[in-house]
Structure 1
Amino acid sequence: MHHHGGGPLPPFSLSRALEWSPDWPYLLFCALALGLYLAGAVRLWRRGDKWPVGRAVAWTAGVGTVLLVTSTGLNDYGMVLFSAHMMQHMVLSMLSPILLLLGAPITLALRALRPARKGSGRGPRELLVALLHSTYVRIVSHPAFTIPLFIASLYVLYFTPLFDFLMQYRVGHLAMMLHFLAVGMLFFWPIMGVDPGPHRPGFVMRIIELFMGMPFHAFFGVAVMMASGQLVSTFSAATAPPGTNLHDDQQLAGGITWAFGEIPTAIVLIALTLQWAKSEERQARRRDRAADRDGDAELEAYNRYLASLDRGAAGRAAGQSAGQAADRAAGQAAGQAS
């Protein structure tokens, strides 16, 4: 499928976009991501620990979406059609990250990596913990950083010459794709995260954070749809598939951006609602357990109280009988004395 410099691609079609067209750096990246994750999950299962299968499925689906937009014909079309590039951008920044985060990779790494042996310095696990606690991670995962970054990634890239510059080089294109994925992961981490992180806002705050980025995203899509001139010069009539109207294609790219914002929002809201319900349920269970323990404690205290009353009564009864005996003895003695 690769037509790098081999004449223009045939007109875009879904079947052509889904054809296998491996791009080695992405392929390697995906193989590593999947291999390492599954190795970690298998290590836990072998050990007899629990690791939810759903998380492994989410991670696999996430890696699958990355493959789908980078190692298929879509990636080739993404070099010559704005709309195809935008599909890649949206999936990598808004769908793959959500699925990958639902896989809870950090939690898995923390549980699967063995602590370093005493005296052998820091192992990978210690480095990961140190990184999670570092000021750097605290800053880059803070909503005040991730939301502007998420928005700027759209505006700065397409409304300045940066996009055209990066697209000239293979490594520029690679870096751009990785950037989309990384920014998406950072943006959704505090919101979606099953994983531990420096920022764990409450559920209401998470929903607000989610909605703070979305209007900018939608507005960007509309701005692209309404732009009269070509925003970027990379996509030219010379390289486009024959019969392409570049302006229509740019409008389609804007439409894709605008519409795509709704999909992850819906997925995230559903996932958040489920997580919220689950955490409420967990808290309720915790309260029940506490109540059970307290209830037992109260019951035990009450039993002890009853026992103490019994002891008191028994003691008094013993005291009374002793007293009566003494009285009788005294009476008998008095009788004898008379």
Structure 2
Amino acid sequence: MDHGAHFAGSSGVLLPVLALFVYLHLARRARRRNPVVGWSRWRTAGFATGIVLTGAALLPPVTSFAHADFRGHMVQHMLIGMYAPLALVLGAPVTLLLRTLPVGAARWLSAVVHSGPGRLLTHPATALLLSTGSLVVLYFTPLYNAVTAQPAGHWLLHAHFLLSGCLFAHVIAGPDPAPARPGVRARLVYLGCAVAVHAVVAQLMYGGFWVDVHAPIPEVQGGAEIMYYGGDIAELLLAAALVSTWRPGRRPRPVAGRAVRA
């Protein structure tokens, strides 16, 4: 990897670092505004972890490995597209903004979240298509080779992985408001679909069926293994985050001695 690529990687980390500073500033403001409610340090730790994972994926040695080897690309994909998004989403950044923005700006943000386009974007089917479904287009068409041939293409790919990963994690297990989010059972079904698609894509990639990646076969097979096992771990973490929000409703107990009217 040349010095220009190193510089580009270092520059690319500035945005996540800036996002972390903004988050920490808003978290402090939330605690000052309402000391009783405050702001969860666990959420702050989650967001910070997501920033660290994103930074690790965009700096050497990971980024050097990713430019030289398809297996490195897949490690980068797992970090940016699956592990970092879950941690970032668990930080509840939208809720933090709603608590700390001026009233007018907070109402505007809430209106955007509850708008028709907002509901469509945060529907589980949309999130599944953009995050997991895009893998089929990326690795089984010439798109991957065309995108990664240019430095700007790498950054576009990183942005897609991060944003679509955050969207899917938000829809499935995020603490932020999502009006189109269905119940836990339905979200488990969508998560199961994501697991199945990841597994099929990884197996087809390992077997060399229809895959269109210009890389040596051992690298492609190694990348497929990283996708298969790394994706399983990430999806188990996402499932754990989802199940932790499950609050089964309790049926009301009948009151003894009360007459039941017909």
Q: Which residue of 2 aligns with 1:149?
A: 130
Which residues in structure 2 correspond to 1:13-24 (within 5 Å)? Answer: 23-24=9-10
Question: What is the percentage of aligned positions where both structures have the same residue?
Answer: 32
Residue 132 (1) aligns with residue 113 (2): yes
Alignment check: 8 A CA contact 2:173 2:245 kept: no
Residue 68 (1) aligns with residue 56 (2): yes
| Superposition deviation, residue 170 in structure 1 | 1.4
CA distance in structure 2 between the partners assigned to 1:71 and 1:251 by the alignment: 24
Q: What is the SS of the residue equivalent to 2:178? A: coil
Residue 94 (1) aligns with residue 104 (2): no
CA distance in structure 2 between the partners assigned to 1:270 and 1:152 by the alignment: 22
Q: What is the SS of the residue equivalent to 1:31? A: helix
1:172 to 153, 175, 190: 153
Q: Which residue of 2 aligns with 1:36?
A: 22
CA distance in structure 1 between the partners assigned to 2:45 and 2:83 by the alignment: 15
| Superposition deviation, residue 267 in structure 1 | 1.0
Unaligned runs of 5+ in 2: 253-262
Structure 1 residues 169 and 127: CA distance shift in structure 2, 3 A: farther
Structure 1 residues 275 and 152: CA distance shift in structure 2, 3 A: closer
Query: Under a length normalisation based on structure 2, what TM-score does the superposition of the two structures give?
Result: 0.87
Question: Counterpart amino acid of 1:147?
Answer: L
| Superposition deviation, residue 143 in structure 1 | 1.7
Q: Which residue of 1 aligns with 2:225?
A: 255
Query: Under a length normalisation based on structure 1, what TM-score does the superposition of the two structures give?
Result: 0.68
| Superposition deviation, residue 165 in structure 1 | 1.3
CA distance in structure 2 between the partners assigned to 1:131 and 1:97 by the alignment: 21
Q: Which residue of 1 aligns with 2:197?
A: 216
Q: What is the SS of the residue equivalent to 1:261? A: helix
Structure 1 residues 231 and 5: CA distance shift in structure 2, 3 A: farther
Question: Counterpart amino acid of 2:107?
Answer: E
Unaligned runs of 5+ in 1: 7-19, 117-122, 236-245, 288-338
CA distance in structure 2 between the partners assigned to 1:140 and 1:25 by the alignment: 29
Question: Counterpart amino acid of 2:92?
Answer: A
Total equivalences in the alignment: 249
Structure 1 residues 52 and 168: CA distance shift in structure 2, 3 A: same
Q: What is the SS of the residue equivalent to 1:173? A: helix
> Deviations for 1:134-181, whole angstroms, at most 9, x for unmatched residues?
222211211222222223321111111111111122111101101001
CA distance in structure 2 between the partners assigned to 1:256 and 1:111 by the alignment: 39
Larger Rg: 1
Q: Which residue of 2 aligns with 1:3?
A: 2
| Superposition deviation, residue 22 in structure 1 | 7.0
Question: Counterpart amino acid of 1:88?
Answer: Q
Structure 1 residues 80 and 266: CA distance shift in structure 2, 3 A: same
Q: Which residue of 2 aligns with 1:301?
A: none
Q: Which residue of 2 aligns with 1:238?
A: none
Structure 1 residues 22 and 173: CA distance shift in structure 2, 3 A: closer
Q: Which residue of 1 aligns with 2:242?
A: 272
